[in-house]
Structure 1
């Protein structure tokens, strides 16, 4: 981290300990071990990436200082440089696991406020006297209104004709009472602590902490919100009472199927949060419009498509899908939005993605300009955690609970009120509860929908005994051999590592698997790799899975058939047609109207027996509860995607037990993937539901599958 400040002055101590010559080195050694541990578990989130960066630049800075300091003896200088080389070696090993870290070492990457603050705090802990200009660090400026549309989207930006009329008719475009947090803030006890990692850790250690739900009011005596002919459930009524009490920021994380859409629509009505923007996956835009009409018939909703030329600019609710939000950011930031609902909010977990940046920029703008000064912000997702607790990051930023670097003022006040610091064991349950009280609402089906039937996942092994199946077995053997050859080459190059006979070096296993995964991602489904192999297994299972679904349909009625790849869906549909079973298709490339027509036909037409669905396009926000049997022809890479798919059927309105039949290719990597997916379900159970479960690894299923394949090959 380049510094233009004068040479640092160090406080001298009478102690003769070797750390007196370079007291920053023990701090760097401790911090680099923390980063290494996270990297080994594939948990290098934003905080640890910055930590990696700061360590690297301080090592460079300290090495230069040690070489030039005339007061250090030659023997002491050699010892200090050796210790710095040790830190640098660990950094290099970490960068080998995640090559994207290398770009953080460029000089112009080291200027973020969090990096500067981290560097300052570590140097102060080491007893370094810093010049005044390095002590005060300004945070990054908020996104300005004129930069709400990113440069990459500026050329695609549109402005529907009616919009200007709406803007001109709105006398409340400027905020009436709200001023963004800023200026001098009172210094708090925790200001000197790095708090984001402890906050994530508080959820990772969530077992025994109870369900992650803020205190909610009791059910009112009378239902004051449902329109005539409809009735909300008790868990929905309690949530809506919290909105009536004035709460405006929520992570509504109820399990899929508990009516999050209805709760959001009614919450907007209670909060008078109009105009309201709803950002959704494309597949559910029409369903959202229907739900607005159903639960708030006095309000008008308009669905934004393409350039928006057909929108009703004077509607109360604007519904837009993630893919085209960038085209409409400009005018949406100007119409005086009083609320934003982000459906399937786990879609924004990748902060580097354009859709995440679009949503975050717009939410910041709305917080600054909402006429009421307190807009309604709701993130909806039944599966907020996909691989790691740091999946919370983008959602917390959207809700203004944190900025990704530190907690916001309100959360900081709550953390400060606990009376603990991250050095105290009691801090973690207290911090978890402090975040929950900001507005996390998580209810499980078994707790609030006691009349909802059971859900069962049953595995159906199939044998791939044709030539295609044998070719898959050969490809899997060749992949395992390639991994094992790489392992042995690295082991030979590193020399004797003191391994016992038959012992496996897990560091090399990790290195080989990471390297293979990076190459596989670059190649996609080309060549022989984990992605192409899983696709070929799906193709080989297609007709077997379709035949089972057709037989199932004849005996139990309607069936939902999920697949990941188009060719598997195509093969299944041809088989159903040949078998005389009428089916409909729900895919990503369909128009909104065609997709909704297929959903309505499946739910309403008794002649339609099977819905053939894309795991990605139909796995969220679609109601298919007229069926009670699901066939999963291909496995997902995440437990969350599998859960979302099954819960298209297992939801409010279902009155029969639900069975999901997973078609698994026996004696292939398919079996291992199924086991790994099951192990991933423990993350949400521990972090959100407070359940005591096995601490499953947080590495990706792909990486874990490659490691398992390699270990089996080495064991053989």
Structure 2
């Protein structure tokens, strides 16, 4: 007789439902993940992947707790059971964090959630059978849009790997790099090392050798302080924290040190605002070495280049192939960007440095920053780790050996601190101020800072420039066709070019609407505003007071907004101020040490002011004459100024801005000769405007000629094959 199935009671069904809940949903996934993190912490230092998992588990526990509390379809007993299980996971997280307290920062309200963490969160939700929304479309040209982590490998890099699949490692000196403490075993040393810099002492600069030569291989002359760093690299020093003040040529020193150490291929990680400038400087100082700049997904990267420049903002996409590329040297510019070790950018930089050391025991590693060492010394923890001087817990290699050789310990108090500071400095800290090397550098210089306008505004500006060129080309051809007399010339009629440019300039001056050279230059200024203000903010933090000049009110407004967001106090000098308000702004900048920046109108503040309390100036927009630029610089370069003056001129690369800067410089030479008694006339603003349009039209006509020649060659080739 068949046995009749037994009916389950309500209690049995409830128990079965609870057991089902034990094995479905997000909680089982979180439970497995938290045990994996706990195991990693028990084995030693928590690796980056486990740190990411720790953060994601914490975030998902919060989300699930909120969801359960708001769920009205579950019974109270089920809700209590689920919350109890989440508390168990949270308890394991807390116990794990006691082994490494830095993990707690990952769960702070303002903690940065990186792309890897977002990907893992989505993966864990999918594993739990939860609905995961599609990833949002991201406009890569929107600077405020989140950057989704998508690892890419440029095709030219793949081709290089195929051509040279074997990279020979070099483990020379590996034993010294991993030296462990003997006498100082058991002492907590990192805290005392950081505190040693708070006690002051000797200059924070390692002993540097006398330079062998003041002339670089490129033929350019070096200043003595620059040559000393290059000579140290040539003699075998391989780690540098180059903390010279801005304006002392850290870029040139890094490039030439890499050349002296033969540290190629060389990886350079920089802020976006200066990556074009780095490629330009590489061409100037090491012309025999090819360089490539990574933009976006790197489709135009030269995989065979000696120098690869990438900005922090896109490092997440390229960190995979960069780690396997076989770099022998790495430079990190504005290295204070990596001070937060929990940030993705810091973890990527530290990972790449570890990859270099894994393949080459003594790669060239250089961290560049103008931040004074005495401020926020804990910020240098990540930088020292990048250089391989320390890890999360102890000093490493040569630094530990040097500390052992002092015969001192933290128990010896001031004696230890002085000796420890010297040991750290001698690892490669180089810090010179302008006043220290005043004899080496000019009293005043203008330094160009090219920036890329690679967002939507930048594209629209370049499109408008092409449209302006197209309009002038059409006008030029129309004038050629309707001309009934006069000479004819082969190629471009440069006399007619000047006439067409003159007509365009007259139209631009009389018409207030439509795109013209004046509206285009103004839009370029607006697009540069944020980048220029960002650089001024960096200068203010690194070297003190900064003067910021702009032509237009909206550029000044954008700069002041950024300074306010950064917590940087500023004064403002504008044309619509009363004399009393103007003087109050000047006094606040010159007398209040907490006012770091003064934002000045080029027209209102370009003359008659004494702002020599600062020695750095940012020109956010170009003027139409060298005289206006010089007047602005003379606000700080005047009698009584005790430091060399640097004017940072922000220029939009690959736009008419570059042509205008070149023309201003050429006219400045004419003006100087005129003042010296030459017959040359000093150029007016209309000269620059006309010459800029002439240059734009000439370049467009030359490109037209090249395209016509290419088409002609193609037709001839086609005819040959057809015959």
Report 1 or 2 for greater relative contact order, CA contacts < 8 Å, sequence distance ≥ 6: 1
Q: TM-score range by the shorter chain?
A: 0.3 to 0.5
TM-score (norm 1): 0.46
Q: TM-score, normalised by structure 2?
A: 0.46
